[in-house]
Amino acid sequence: MKRRNLLILLLAATCHYGIAQSHFIDSLHNALKTEKDDTNKINTLNLLSEKLWRRGQYDTAITCANQSLALAKNLKFKKGMAGAYHSLGVIYRNKGSYPQALQYDLTALELCQQIGDKTGIGINLGNIGIIYMNQGNFRQALNYDFKALAICRELGDKTGISRNLGNIGIIYADSGKYSESLNYALNSLQIHQEIGDNQGVAYNLNSIGTLYFKERKYSNSLEYYFKGLSVAKKIGNSSTMANDFGNIGSIYVLQRKNREGKAYLDSGLNLAKSLGEKIDIKDIYASLAALDSISGDYKTAFKDYETYIIYRDSITNDANTKKIEEAQINYAFDRKTDSAKAAQNKLDIIAAKESQHQKMLLNSFIGGFILMILLAFFIFRGYRQKQRANIIITQQKEEVEKQKDLIEKQKTIVEEKNKDILDSIMYAKRLQDAILPPVSLIAHYLPESFVLYKPKDIVAGDFYWMERMGDTILIAAADCTGHGVPGALVSVICSNALNRTVKEFHITEPGKILDKVRELVLETFEKSESNVQDGMDISLCCINTKTKEIQWSGAYNSLWYIQNGEIHEIEADKQPIGKNDKPIPFNTRHLKLQKGGTFYLFTDGYADQFGGPKGKKFKYKPFQETLSNIATLEMDEQKQKLNEIFEAWRGNMEQTDDVCIIGIRV
Kindly state the helix (H) or strand (E) to which residue 513 belongs, with its residue range. helix 510-525
DSSP-derived 3-state class of residue 403: helix
Closest CA to 129 of 180, 156, 166: 166
**Structural domain contains residue 543:** yes
Count of domains forming the chain: 4
Distance CA 427, CA 433 (A): 10
199 plus 60 within the same structural domain: no
The domain in which residue 207 lies consists of: 120-231
pLDDT at 6: 32
Same domain, 60 and 204: no
Domain end (from 116, 149, 180): 116
Name the more confident of 357 and 169. Answer: 169
pLDDT tops 60 at residue 467:
yes
Is residue 454 domain-resident? yes
Same domain, 99 and 172: no
At 329, the pLDDT band (50, 70, 90 cuts) reads very low
Query: What would the mean pLDDT of 434-445 be, rounded to a whole number?
Result: 88
Q: Residue 495's domain is classified under what CATH number?
A: 3.60.40.10
What CATH number is given to the structural domain containing 147? 1.25.40.10
Mark whether 441 and 568 lie in a shared domain: yes
Looking at the predicted structure, is the pLDDT value of residue 602 above 90?
yes
Domain annotation covers residue 604:
yes
Q: Is residue 540 part of a domain?
A: yes
- In this predicted structure, which of 268-282, 306-320, 542-556 has the lowest mean pLDDT? 306-320
pTM for this one?
A: 0.43
pLDDT classification of 421: cutoffs 50, 70, 90: low
Q: Could you tell me if 75 and 212 lie in one domain?
A: no
- pLDDT tens sequence across 9-56: 333 333 344 555 666 777 777 777 777 788 888 888 888 888 887 777
Segment 533-539 shows an average pLDDT of 86
Among 122-126, 385-389, 598-602, 649-653, the range with the most confident prediction by mean pLDDT is: 598-602
| Contact (CB, 8 A) for 591 and 552 | yes
Q: Is residue 222 part of a domain?
A: yes
Buried b (16+ CB within 10 A) or exposed e, 353-391: eeeeeeeeeeeeeeeeeeeeeeeeeeeeeeeeeeeeeee
pLDDT band at 368 (very low <50, low <70, confident <90, very high): low
Query: What confidence tens digit (pLDDT) does each residue in 127-169 have?
Result: 898 888 887 788 888 899 899 889 999 998 888 888 888 888 8
Are 23 and 154 in the same domain? no
Kindly indicate the confidence band of residue 453, based on its pLDDT and cuts at 50, 70 and 90. Answer: very high
pLDDT of residue 43: 87
Write the pLDDT tens digit of every residue in 265-305.
999 899 888 888 888 898 898 888 888 878 888 788 778 88
Mean pLDDT calculated for residue range 523-546: 80
Q: Tell me the CA end-to-end span of the chain in Å, nearest whole number.
A: 78
Residue 424 has pLDDT above 70, yes or no: no
The share of the chain scoring above pLDDT 90, in percent, equals: 33
Q: Which of 570, 573, 576 is nearest to 590 (CA)?
A: 570
Q: Is the pLDDT of residue 461 over 50?
A: yes
| Inside any domain, residue 401 | no
Q: Exposure of 424 by Cβ count < 10 A (0-12 exposed, 13-18 middle, 19+ buried)?
A: exposed
Residue 315 has pLDDT above 80, yes or no: no
pLDDT reading at 414 higher than 70:
no
Query: Would you state the pLDDT for residue 358?
Result: 52
| Residues of the chain by 3-state class (helix, strand, coil), percent to 5 | 70, 10, 20
Tell me, yes or no, whether 80 and 176 share the same domain: no
**Do residue 550 and residue 582 come from a single domain?**
yes
Q: Do residues 605 and 537 both lie within one domain?
A: yes
Strand, coil or helix: 336: helix
Q: Which residues pair with 541 in a beta bridge?
A: 475, 552
What is the SS3 assignment for 453-484? EECCCCCCCEEEEEEEECCEEEEEEEEECCCH
Closest alpha carbon to 324 in 140, 88, 100: 100
What pLDDT does residue 620 have? 95
Task: Report if residue 380 sits inside a domain.
Answer: no
In a domain, 422, yes or no: no
Query: Which of 197, 231, 265 is the C-terminal boundary of a domain?
Result: 231
Each residue's pLDDT tens digit, 330-352:
554 345 435 434 444 554 454 45
Domain boundary among 207, 231, 255: 231
- pLDDT averaged over every residue in the chain: 82
